[in-house]
Amino acid sequence: MKKLFAAFIALLTLFGAIALSPNHANAASSQKEFRVAMEAAYPPFNWTQDTAANGAYPIEGSDQFANGYDVQVAKKLADKLGKKLVIVKSKWDGLIPALTSGKIDAIIAGMSPTPEREQSINFSTAYETGKMGVIVKKGSKYANATTIDDFSGAKITAQQGTFHTDLIKQLKGVSEQPAMNDFSAMRVALSSGVIDGYVAELVEGLTAEVKQPEFKFVDLSGKSGFEIDKSMMVCSVGLRKDDNSTLKTINSYLKSWPKSEQDALMDSMVKLQSNPDKVTGFWSQVKFIWEQNWQHLLQSVGMTLLLSIIGTIVGFGIGLLIGVFRTMNKASNVLGRWLQRIVGWLLNIYIEIFRGTPMMVQAMVIYYGSAQFLHLNIDRLFAAFLIVSINTGAYMSEIVRGGIYSVDEGQFEAAHALGFTHWQTMYKIVLPQAIRNILPSVGNEFVINIKDTSVLNVISVSELYFMGNTIAQQNYQYFQTFFIVSCIYLIMTFSITRILRLIEHFLNRTSKTTMNPTQVTTGANQLQI
């Protein structure tokens, strides 16, 4: 027990050191940096690659690079502002929260200035103007569509959080499908036949056709009944409401940037979208993906295990403290009883909130909300550890409480009769037995944490799922890539489960061999005097 609590205190100290250390990874930008966020997963606007080829730029906190039209625009704007460019990779849903919370300076991600977005952030002059249509599969009955009526009966979707979803309603007779999180998910859905098409810009269509030759872009711009607000057909730079000086400088540059140069730059980015490597056969493709990306995958496995291990240990420590407190007898004086009641209420609130809300929501609230409303700039990695730990602590507190109550009540009474305090009773008698009893549940929580770390991709933590998604967006072989990812998850959880079972077996065998039956009887009689 002493070693357990020492380890817990050491981890808390480490957490504090991380939280108080200089925060370069996610700090609101200094005067010398221009921090730009994008998905790095929406070619030809932005994508992720392994080298700096073709003018790619390093992604912060990663050994990978971002490239695309948005990246090249960001370079030009950073030079104009006289600042160092920093590319931050983020999920689409996290772009605006990251900007409003001050973790980045700008969004350059092919984003359109919708009225809803303009309520939260400012937009610059357009740096790209496009056309809209539907991406379908060649050979389908919708591939030769020429009017909006030709899509009748089609299952159509669009990206969540974009104006594209509003355009689906103009396609008469279609079956509108739930919006999807990103273009990667829609490409997989279209390839597998889950949907018949998705609404997208022309540049996405051109890229999709190059990357996946079975796709076709159906241009609906100017078609009767397909009304598009021209202001929505542009891409602009997103900036904070109070950043007027940057907005003025960016607008001045974009207005002077010739349209011919913009088009030439976009054409060059589209041409960089090469065909996937011609590797045929499922297992050959799986082997090729593993050979090309095993180092990135193993690095992300390390991050997943680190988050899971530390989160489980710290959560277990939190659960122990709460479990011991909630099993205390009532204080003998009025003040003590009131303090117990108040602390108990607070602990109940903590447990109900973190057991009653998804970890993904907690991640968004803690990481972005703390910066936006509390002005606390939390490091991304520290936020990830904190989220997993306090979420696990809420569950562990109930597991520990159940373990404590599983110990025979007579042992509590005997210990108190011998003059033991509540903490001495817990430390010397109850907790060693309770921990052994709840070890299977603790192991189960550890396995759950290995899988649940995948939700931390919403704050761009590079764990296994995040890395798998990045690789799939590069090679367009989603099933093959996530087959590898699922196998890695299975290997991790299977191995951890077997290790924990060996530990349980060792503890049970040790408890039986360290005391013979006579000693057990004598010890029991001593406690039950």
Q: What is the pLDDT of residue 432?
A: 85
When pLDDT is cut at 50, 70 and 90, the band that residue 384 belongs to is very high
Specify whether the CB–CB gap between 297 and 467 falls below 8 A: yes
Assess if CATH 3.40.190.10 describes domain 31-127+236-274. Answer: yes
Matching CATH topology for 31-127+236-274 and 283-462? Answer: no
Q: Which band of pLDDT confidence, cut at 50, 70 and 90, is reported for residue 22?
A: very low
pLDDT top residue among 475 and 364: 364
Residue-wise pLDDT for 98-152, tens only, equals: 999 999 999 999 999 988 899 999 999 999 988 899 999 999 999 999 999 999 9
Q: Residue 33 forms beta bridges with which residues?
A: 84
Higher pLDDT, 458 or 150: 150
For residue range 56-67, list pLDDT tens digits in order.
999 998 888 999
Asked whether residue 4 carries a pLDDT value surpassing 90, the answer given is no
In this structure, are residues 474 and 409 in contact, taking their beta carbons and an 8 Å threshold? Answer: no
Please say if the pLDDT value at position 209 is more than 90: no
Query: Does 440 sit behind a cis peptide bond, omega within 30 degrees of 0 on the bond before it?
Result: no
* Structure confidence at residue 529 (pLDDT): 40
Q: What pLDDT is stored for residue 231 in this prediction?
A: 76
Task: Map out the domains of the chain as residue ranges.
Answer: 31-127+236-274, 129-233, 283-462
Which two three-digit tokens encode residue 34?
A: 């221009």
pTM score, whole prediction? 0.76
In this prediction, residue 162 carries a pLDDT of: 87
Taking phi over 0 as left and psi of -120 to 50 as alpha, with beta for the rest, 54 belongs to left
> Which pair of structure tokens corresponds to residue 143?
């591939």
Q: Which residues contact 320 (CB under 8 A, 6 or more apart)?
A: 8, 396, 400, 431
* Averaged pLDDT, 169-184: 91
Which residue's structure tokens are 């872009």? 217
CATH (residue range 129-233): 3.40.190.10
How does residue 514 score in pLDDT terms, banded at 50, 70 and 90? low
SS3 of the chain: helix, strand, coil, percent, to 5: 60, 10, 30
Task: Report pLDDT digits (tens) over 279-298.
Answer: 678 899 899 999 989 999 99
Query: In the numeric block, which tokens belong to residue 492?
Result: 């991790």
Tell me, what's the pLDDT at 168?
Answer: 95
% of the chain residues with pLDDT over 70:
89
Q: Are 138 and 215 in contact (CB under 8 A)?
A: yes
Side by side, the strands of the sheet bearing 238-239 are 84-89, 33-38, 106-107, 238-239, 122-123
Distant-in-sequence, close-in-space partners of 177: CB < 8 Å, separation ≥ 6: 155, 156, 157, 195
Task: Report yes or no: 86 and 29 within 8 Å, Cβ to Cβ.
Answer: yes
> What confidence score (pLDDT) does residue 273 get?
74
Instruction: Give the pLDDT mean for 338-345.
Output: 91
Q: Is the pLDDT of residue 25 over 60?
A: no
Q: Distance between alpha carbon 96 and the CA centroid of its chain, in Å?
A: 15
- Cα separation, 244 vs 123, in Å, equals 10
* Residue found under tokens 């007779």: 173
Nearest to 85 by CA among 113, 63, 66: 66
Residue, of 276 and 424, whose pLDDT is higher: 424
What value does the CA radius of gyration of the chain take, rounded to a whole number of Å? 28
Class of domain 283-462: mainly alpha
Residue 71 pLDDT > 90:
yes
Among candidate residues 193, 199, 204, the one with its CA nearest the CA of residue 174: 199
519's torsion region: left (phi>0), alpha (psi -120 to 50) or beta? alpha
